[in-house]
């Protein structure tokens, strides 16, 4: 059915007028919300901060979607790409009642309306964007580009859900958004929900036209069809004509979705529609000038104040709200009820729906460790067997995401129980593709991250496995997600969601055939700038510690967990019981690698990360062999945040604990996985910081052997021994001799590598320490 009665259309139009009125009120007013008296400067905010331009379009779509929800009982999540349309979403949720349920002091009456207006973009009030504070939102539109990928993430494994995703034409110019349209190839017709993208072409960014608004409908239609979406055009600047068109088109789109098609809507309406046509003789409506506040400088400009009043009165508030400022029932009746209201849909507060994963006992996947460093395994491959069974037992609430690297990262056991999500053509020579696959691979870190965010925010669990260097591609998306977690932690009605788990492999030290462009351990540095309550960093040195860490991360909530783990063969160091104990402490002395026998050591060798741990153990062995009287303590760190003090991070060690481990006056030679200065930044307050000497990746690399890599960065076992000798006074001539031996060893190894490459024997000798 595509007709709409004119009476219904009138009611819809009134609803739209109401939300437009409430939006303008938020941007401008701090008093006189119903315009009971003539508008004066006293009623207006001293500083006008907000964005009108995108708002009327959002209000239009929300009103029309309400109608469809009621018609079809269709649970719908509304995703607002143009986050600057904050006033619109706040207005709509207030009008439907969901806002006041979350914020009772902002009641649905005149007093509440005054509060609604004043709080907007006001100190101590609410942000100007669609934000975590906004009921019904899983998406902060401040940094543009991720609306559509969040929409798809929300739809996965939510077969009953429709996600209406408004994409601004500014946002549509970003790379992540341009790639997101292809997400339709990863949506299963039965298992997953539906996504209806609406490209809102209001034509302008801050100061410019948008690209997609000026390429013409033919090219735009081609583009959307090329992306696999069937475009439906709605266009106009006459409200009544647009209402009729949009209502019909939305119904058509929902029918198409139900038929398994991929429609999308191009909505071309003026920027700042229904706002001032012009200001001071310059056109405003339908130009870039409508982006923020069309009328400004009210204090110095009485005509602007009058124009504002006329603008607001043009919505006829007296026909929309009763004497007490309560919206008329003809309006509120148009909104759906209860959880069908888009401000109250449970999926937008995913923590409320979150169920713990059913986790098999990770101990069952342990590798046998008869004694430390006797056997070896590929930690990521071992983890794969655990993740396989996590997947098997959580086939509706768990997914693994990665840019075509799941097998490269050695997690292929997953393919025993599920495939790679793939709806397109499949050939005989393909492997592990399946329309209902739950491993989501696409060569876009942006899509992997965004899908996972949408999936987590709607109450599910997941893991993002990625090459370590290229996780920087989503630095900025991580920022925004960490900000979301930080803010929602303090919003009482927002329930905690599952943690975002990064599993970074193919790390900096093992880019044997990819080289310098693939070498960057700096994501950890990036992550630790965010709030301590949110971020966790783990560097398990072997297979069993990785299992223990992974189990912990999958149980945790509302964190970002960064786990860096090796995929190459690596010595098994700890049996499962020891691994659990070590991971629980997060940091500890390894007695079996130390010879200080509980007394004061002469030197501390600390390490974090699989390769640094190997080199440290080898250095300790060299020292034991050549300088048996030197008392060496070996400390391994799994939980990097233990290094910070307990006033800075909840995982931080107290100063007493730290001093007991690292001593207050002995040299500490620290081999670290990443950039060495991060350790100083974490530990600068520690008593013994002056004796802390850190080796790590100092941006030296190329396509070369793993041992050459540690040598290039002075983190090899030989150099660590030299560091010890240089820092422990009066070791005598034997040490001087050993130091020279180490220098010679390095030269010999370098020459050998250059001449012979990396033959199996030299790899073997590299792994050796015991």
d(CA 198, CA 233): 10
Interaction with a second copy in 299-358: which residues (CB under 8 A)? 299
Indicate whether 611 belongs to the interface with a second copy (CB under 8 A).
Answer: no
| Residue 30 or 341 with smaller CB distance to a second copy | 30
State which of positions 170-229 bind a second copy (CB under 8 A).
170-171, 173-180, 182, 185, 205-211, 214-216, 219-228
Which of the ranges 32-40, 156-164, 465-473, 548-556 carries the binding residues for a second copy, by CB under 8 A? 465-473
The residue range among 312-320, 373-381, 521-529, 582-590 that interacts with a second copy, by the rule CB under 8 A, is: 521-529
Q: What six digits make up the tokens of 721? A: 């021994």
In whole angstroms, give the CA distance from residue 236 to residue 267: 9
Using CA atoms, how far apart are residues 608 and 595, in angstroms rounded to an integer? 19
Residues 21-40 that bind a second copy (CB under 8 A): 30
In the bound state with a second copy, the residue whose beta carbon lies nearer, of 340 and 407, is 407
Residues 6+ apart with CB under 8 A from 539: 563, 564, 608, 609, 610, 637, 638, 640, 673
From residue 388 to residue 427, the character string flagging contacts with a second copy as x (rule: CB under 8 A) and all else as - is ----------------xxxxx-----------x-x-xxxx
**Least distance from a second copy to the Cβ atom of residue 129, Å:** 6
Q: Which of 145, 459, 540, 586 binds a second copy (CB under 8 A)?
A: 145
By CB under 8 A, which span of 472-480, 573-581, 628-636, 721-729 interacts with a second copy? Answer: 472-480
Per-residue binder mask for a second copy (CB under 8 A), 634-673, x = binder: ----------------------------------------
* Rounded CA separation 589/606 (Å): 9
CA distance 281 to 182: 44
Does residue 580 sit in helix, strand or coil? helix
Rounded-to-integer distance, Cα 175 and Cα 173, Å = 7
Kindly state the smallest distance separating residue 409's Cβ from a second copy, in Å. 10
- Site string (80-109) toward a second copy, x via CB under 8 A: ---x--------------------------
**Inter-residue contact 538 to 637 (CB < 8 Å):** no
Residue nearer to a second copy on the CB measure, 192 or 708? 708
Q: How far is the CB of 372 from a second copy (least distance, A)?
A: 28
Question: Bridge-partner residues for 78, per DSSP?
Answer: 164
How many degrees, rounded to 5, is the angle at CA 402 between CA 212 and CA 188?
Answer: 70
Structural Rg of the chain based on CA atoms: 30
Q: Find the shortest distance in angstroms from Cβ 206 to a second copy.
A: 5
Taking CB under 8 A as the binding criterion, the range among 91-99, 353-361, 390-398, 473-481 that sits at the site for a second copy is 473-481
Angle at which helix 733-756 crosses helix 610-626, to 10 degrees, equals: 130
C-beta of 198: minimal distance to a second copy in Å?
Answer: 18
Binding-site member from 302, 759, 765, 768 for a second copy (CB under 8 A): 759
Task: Find where tokens 């009641």 sit.
Answer: 107
Binding to a second copy, residues 261-300 (CB under 8 A): 283, 286-288, 292, 299
Give the binding-site size for a second copy (rule: CB under 8 A): 127
- Among 13, 125, 326, 726, indicate the residue that binds a second copy (CB under 8 A): 125
Q: Using the rule CB under 8 A, is 144 a contact of a second copy?
A: yes
Rounded least distance, CB 81 to a second copy, Å: 12
**73 or 759: whose CB is closer to a second copy?**
759
Select from 60, 49, 79 the least CA-distant residue to 15.
60
Q: Are 195 and 165 in contact (CB under 8 A)?
A: yes
Alpha helices in 428-474 (DSSP H): 445-457
Shortest CB 646 distance to a second copy, Å: 16
Binders of a second copy among residues 726 to 755 (CB under 8 A) are: 753-754
Chain position carrying tokens 């960064």? 562
Of the candidates 726, 75, 612, which has an alpha carbon nearest to the alpha carbon of residue 336?
Answer: 75
Tell me how far CA of residue 49 lies from CA of 22, 204, 280, 284, 296, in angstroms: 15, 19, 20, 17, 10
User: Using the rule CB under 8 A, is 126 a contact of a second copy?
Assistant: yes
CB 629 to a second copy: min, Å = 31
Instruction: Return the residues of window 562-591 that contact a second copy according to CB under 8 A.
Output: none
Question: Distance (Å, rounded) from C-alpha 245 to C-alpha 242?
Answer: 5
Crossing angle (nearest 10°) for helices 110-119 and 6-28: 60
Report which secondary-structure segment, H or E, holds 22: helix 6-28
Spacing of C-alpha 292 from chain mean position: 28
Q: Rounded to the nearest whole angstrom, what is the least distance from the CB of residue 507 to a second copy in the complex?
A: 15
Tell the smallest beta-carbon distance from residue 43 to a second copy (Å).
13
Residue 432 beta carbon to a second copy: minimum distance, rounded to whole angstroms: 8
State the nearest-atom distance from the C-beta of 216 to a second copy, in Å.
8
Task: Decide if residue 512 touches a second copy (CB under 8 A).
Answer: yes
* Host H or E run for residue 302: helix 302-313
* Under rule CB under 8 A, residue 2 binds a second copy: no
Of 3 and 650, the one with the shorter C-beta distance to a second copy is: 650
Residue 279: both structure tokens together = 């200001």
End-to-end alpha carbon distance in the chain: 77
Among 42, 329, 760, 764, binds a second copy (CB under 8 A): 760
């Amino acid at each position: 059915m595509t007709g709409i009665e004119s009476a219904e259309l009138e009611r819809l139009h009134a609803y739209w007028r109401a939300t437009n009125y409430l939006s303008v009120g938020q941007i401008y007013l701090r008093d006189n919300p119903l315009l009971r008296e003539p508008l004066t400067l006293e009623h207006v905010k001293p500083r006008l901060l907000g964005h009108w331009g995108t708002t009327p379009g959002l209000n239009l779509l929300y009103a029309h979607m309400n109608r469809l929800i009621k018609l079809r009982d269709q649970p719908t999540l509304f995703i607002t790409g143009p986050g600057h349309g904050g006033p619109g979403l706040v207005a709509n949720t207030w009008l439907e009642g969901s806002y006041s349920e979350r914020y009772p002091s902002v009641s649905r009456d005149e007093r509440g309306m005054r509060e609604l207006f004043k709080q907007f973009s006001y100190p101590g009030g609410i942000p100007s964007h669609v934000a975590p504070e906004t009921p019904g939102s899983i998406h902060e539109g401040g940094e543009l580009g991720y609306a559509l990928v969040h929409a798809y993430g929300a739809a996965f494994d939510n077969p009953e859900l429709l996600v209406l995703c408004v994409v601004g034409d500014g946002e549509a110019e970003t790379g992540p958004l341009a790639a997101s349209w292809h997400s339709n190839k990863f949506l299963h017709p039965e298992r997953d929900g539906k996504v209806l993208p609406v490209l809102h072409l209001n034509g302008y960014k801050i100061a410019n036209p948008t690209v997609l608004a000026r390429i013409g409908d033919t090219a735009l239609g081609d583009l959307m069809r090329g992306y696999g979406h069937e475009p439906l055009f709605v266009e106009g600047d006459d409200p009544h004509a647009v209402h009729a068109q949009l209502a019909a088109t939305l119904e058509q789109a929902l029918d198409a979705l139900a038929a398994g098609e991929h429609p999308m809507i191009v909505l071309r309406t003026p920027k700042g529609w229904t706002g001032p046509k012009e200001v001071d003789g310059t056109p405003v409506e339908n130009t870039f000038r409508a982006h923020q506040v069309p009328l400004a400088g009210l204090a110095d400009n009485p005509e602007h104040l009058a124009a504002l009043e006329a603008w607001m009165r043009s919505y006829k508030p007296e026909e929309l709200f009763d004497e007490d400022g309560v919206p008329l029932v003809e309006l509120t009746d148009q909104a759906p009820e209860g959880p069908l209201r888009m401000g109250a849909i449970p999926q937008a507060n995913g923590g409320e729906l979150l169920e713990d994963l059913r986790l098999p006992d990770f101990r069952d996947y342990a590798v046998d460790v008869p004694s430390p460093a006797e056997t070896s395994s590929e930690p990521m491959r071992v983890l794969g067997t655990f993740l396989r069974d996590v997947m098997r037992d959580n086939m509706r609430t768990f997914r693994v995401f990665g840019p075509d690297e799941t097998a490269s990262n050695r997690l292929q056991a997953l393919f025993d129980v599920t495939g790679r999500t793939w709806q397109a053509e499949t050939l005989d020579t393909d492997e592990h593709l399946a329309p209902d696959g739950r491993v989501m691979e696409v060569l876009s870190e942006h899509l992997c991250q965004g899908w996972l965010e949408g999936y987590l925010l709607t109450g599910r669990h997941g893991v993002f496995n990625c090459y370590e260097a290229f996780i920087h591609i989503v630095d900025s998306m991580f920022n925004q997600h960490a900000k979301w977690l930080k803010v929602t932690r303090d919003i009482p009605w927002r329930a905690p969601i599952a943690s975002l788990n990064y599993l970074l492999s193919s790390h900096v030290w093992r880019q044997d055939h990819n080289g310098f462009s693939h070498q960057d351990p700096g994501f950890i540095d990036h992550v630790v700038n965010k709030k301590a309550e949110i971020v966790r960093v783990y560097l398990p040195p072997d297979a069993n510690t990785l299992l223990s860490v992974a189990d912990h991360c999958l149980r945790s909530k509302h964190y970002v967990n960064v786990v860096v783990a090796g995929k190459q063969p690596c010595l098994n160091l700890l049996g499962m019981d020891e691994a659990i104990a070590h991971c629980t402490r997060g940091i500890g002395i390894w007695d079996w690698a130390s010879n200080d026998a509980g007394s004061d050591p002469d030197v501390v060798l600390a390490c974090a990360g699989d390769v640094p741990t190997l080199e440290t153990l080898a250095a300790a062995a060299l020292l034991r062999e050549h300088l048996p009287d030197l008392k060496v303590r070996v400390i391994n760190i799994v939980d990097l945040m233990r290094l910070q003090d307990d006033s800075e991070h909840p995982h931080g060690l107290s100063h007493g604990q730290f001093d007991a481990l690292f001593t207050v006056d002995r040299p500490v030679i620290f081999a670290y996985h990443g950039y060495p200065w991060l350790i100083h930044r974490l530990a600068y307050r520690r008593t013994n910081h002056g004796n802390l000497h850190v080796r790590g990746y100092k941006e030296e690399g190329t396509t070369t052997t793993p041992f050459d890599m540690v040598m290039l960065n002075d983190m090899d076992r030989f150099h660590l021994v030299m560091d010890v000798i240089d820092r422990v006074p009066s070791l005598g001539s034997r040490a001087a001799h050993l130091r020279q031996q180490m220098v010679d060893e390095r030269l010999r190894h370098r020459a050998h590598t250059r001449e012979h490459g990396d033959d199996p024997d030299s790899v073997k000798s590299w792994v050796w320490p015991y």
